[in-house]
Structure 1
């Protein structure tokens, strides 16, 4: 029997298998590519990274767009092409993205897949569909607010040309169905997942004590944690101001931040300067910048926390930070937007706050917690159980396998 050839294409410029600095999406793609659907052969296309030299991986499965002499010359040439011209020809203007996507197109022609699953960027989905229409094309949307992200014309293209639609939250599927109620293609929510061996199985009071001691903190100190981008969208300044409020009241709250602007693809340097200025002037002894922490060491970070925060203002998909926090028994204060409302049951495994007036809502929630910290202990077990029941690798793979079988 001939195998069905399935190619998973990463629209972002992160490599798969992931490097130690990779965000969650490459790890999810790697896990899905290891699916064991009988009669199907899975491959992944992603951008090459020098970290791959130190990894042992299946070069037949993981295909990479490498920085060849031709690609380097093409990218250098694109810097001299006006933005309007690049957008008119390619649909976007970033030279490295243009080179990456054009190289993917050449590789797709060579591989001749039966099924193409495009992750993230819709422009790449459209290009691959137009390039190779004989394949089944599935778009994997990894955010919320479908209309805002794609726009009316792209959603119409999706409805008319996609053979399947995946999302890592429920709302995009509901939104697509409401716009096109008669759209009869397979649609499925496949949430992100956590490897319990890496997180839940490493919950340890002793590790928590050791990690805190490295930062000159004790078991009595109250510690908030956040891992992710240092952007305005994540309300870092509002969080700093909330911590300053408690400082003015004589209550010392510590914040651990795992992340580095140096590895962000679109860093907001002006905002970063603002938060560092505020830090220097008000919170230098309470905010602890830990830099980027590789995935294999994140459990140490989570062990040290009393509570996590995810204060996205505008949109949020299926945050790996949120899932990893819960898997370590750490409740999370999260804004009531996007995928957060699908993960957090208010008062059960965390707290949902309104995304309007975030500073004041954080202050009220933290004040409540600080008056009765025992409620966090009750939430901790519920947080871990929620992950075990909804967000393990096995659950994610089972849903993906059942979905992909429809296209054999």
Structure 2
């Protein structure tokens, strides 16, 4: 039995992420920071490359947060030196990066200072990756220097194929306090302009990774024959994004198709709806939006890609849709669940149970703490044993 090194003083953790805009990995990091801050045994510094913070709860944590201003819009090499200066001043025990470029920016400092790098850049699981791309080459370099590579899905590890001896899956964790004391359902519907008895929600940022085109096609198909169902979407967007303007045009002449952009009370909106949908043909890791649908007892209709099949079983907690499925097929899933209240409630209860048994923030936080401790132990045998070998043992029992 290997003995783990005991850390006597507060562990100094430096987190590096692009921003805290509304998004899955950003929400996940805020949940982790909340957990770690409540433990009281960590000194934490968070570095951003963009001064955008969507999550109001982050400000209440009292964590030192600094922005590394970028001189160039993308891939700014000056960030490397700025990061180095903060590391020299803060003297972290560990650096925890949350993004490919953020991980890349850390490499000179990691190499010079010998600081362990915990790498959480794998948050998606696309159907395939281009092994001849610059991105792929960057990944190989980053993975080689990282002490531990973390993914939030088994599918993500399979696609990106980092060195298995230092890789681990840590599933997302939810703070269940977020789902208590939500706004009244009818008041929420009124606030968001939902005037129908039933509604379908998609929480997704406007990006090439989310299929808003298909969502709108389904919405138009259903609302053409059903006046009792509203389709509502919410998510971050950029004003100059052509997809955003396409969404606006598609929703302006149909009161039962609504887009609300970036909102602060996602939980209340989801709670007021009957079905959660997420169409992401490029593959999610484990989607926070889907976890929130499930925690609130909603059946899910989602793309059968990435890590989603790890948490949703087709025909049990919802329906997994294929690339070849027609609009009519997916629309029929919607109307079936709306019309069959017993099935809708049964699917929702399966999902709620899954989340509360397997996806607590405490479970996620303890897993991260374990990785931090092992990374500092300098015991490679222990590190290896606690990483890849645990993936199958931690598989969720449906």
Q: 2:281 matched to 1:313?
A: yes
Equivalents in 2 of 1:147, 1:37: separation in Å?
Answer: 39
Alpha carbons 1:2, 1:39 under 8 Å: kept:
no
Change (3 A) 1:364 1:57: closer
Would the aligned equivalents of 1:227 and 1:321 in 2 still touch at CA under 8 Å?
yes
1:108 to 82, 87, 95: 87
Q: 2:9 aligns with which of 3, 10, 13?
A: 3
- Whole-Å Cα distance in 1 between the matches of residues 136 and 327 of structure 2? 34
Residue 215 (structure 1) shift: 5.0
Deviation, 1:166, is: 0.6
Question: Which digits, 9 at most, give the CA deviation of each residue in 1:259-313, with x for residues without a partner?
Answer: 353xx4xx662222223222234x2x1112333211xx22221121010110112
| Corresponding residue number in structure 2 for 1:137 | 117
Contact residue 19 and residue 51 of structure 2 kept, 8 A: no
Structure with the larger RCO, 1 or 2 (CA within 8 Å, 6+ apart): 2
Q: For each residue in 1:183-216, what CA deviation from the matched residue of structure 2 results, as whole angstroms up to 9, or x when unmatched?
A: 532x2211222211111x3478xx2233224456
Match of 1:13 in 2: 19
The equivalent residue for 1:289 is 259
SS at match of 1:256: strand
- 2:312 — aligned with what? 344
From 175, 179, 182, the counterpart of 1:195: 175
* Superposition RMSD in Å: 3.2
Give the corresponding residue for 1:81: none
Spell out, residue by residue over 1:227-262, the C-alpha distance to the aligned partner (whole angstroms, 9 max, x if none).
22234542222222222223333554211222353x
3-state SS in 2 of match to 1:10: strand
Specify the alignment match of 1:163 in structure 2.
Answer: 147
Q: Any idea what SS the aligned residue of 2:266 has?
A: helix
Tell me the equivalent position of 1:236: 212
- The residue matched to 2:165 in structure 1 has which SS? coil
Counterparts of 2:290 and 2:175, CA distance in 1? 14
- Paired residues for 1:298-337 under 5 Å: 298-337=266-305
In structure 2, distance between residues paired with 1:65 and 1:277: 36
Deviation of 1:385 after TM superposition, in Å, equals: 0.9
- What SS class does the counterpart of residue 166 from structure 1 fall into? strand
5+ residue gaps, structure 2, are: 1-6, 377-398
Q: How many residues align?
A: 359
Corresponding residue to 2:165 among 159, 184, 190: 184
Of 243, 251, 254 in structure 1, the residue corresponding to residue 230 of structure 2 is 254
**Separation (CA, whole Å) in 2 of partners of 1:62 and 1:198:** 24
Q: Distance in 2 between matches of 1:230 and 1:114?
A: 37
- The residue number in structure 1 matching 2:199 is 223
CA distance in 1: counterparts of 2:226 and 2:28, whole angstroms? 43
Tell me, yes or no, if structure 1 residue 173 matches structure 2 residue 150: no
What TM-score results when the alignment is normalised by the length of structure 1?
Answer: 0.76
Call closer, same or farther: CA 1:383–1:330 in 2, change over 3 Å: same
Contact map agreement 1:109 1:132 (CA 8 A) in 2:
no
Give distance in 2, aligned partners of 1:344 and 1:276. Answer: 31
Distance 2:232 2:209 in 1: 18
Aligned to 1:64: 66
Distance in structure 2 (CA, Å) of the matches to 1:321 and 1:50? 20
Matched with 1:128 is 106
Q: 1:276 aligns with which of 206, 227, 248?
A: 248
User: Compared with structure 1, are the counterparts of its residues 99 and 325 closer, same or farther at alpha carbon in structure 2 (3 Å cutoff)?
Assistant: farther
What is residue 387 of structure 2 aligned with on the other side? none
Are residue 29 (structure 1) and residue 49 (structure 2) matched? Answer: no
C-alpha contact (below 8 Å) 1:142/1:317 kept by paired residues: yes
> What secondary structure is seen at the aligned counterpart in 1 of 2:263?
coil
1:17-41 Cα distance to aligned partner (Å, 9 max, x none) = xxxx643433422333443789764
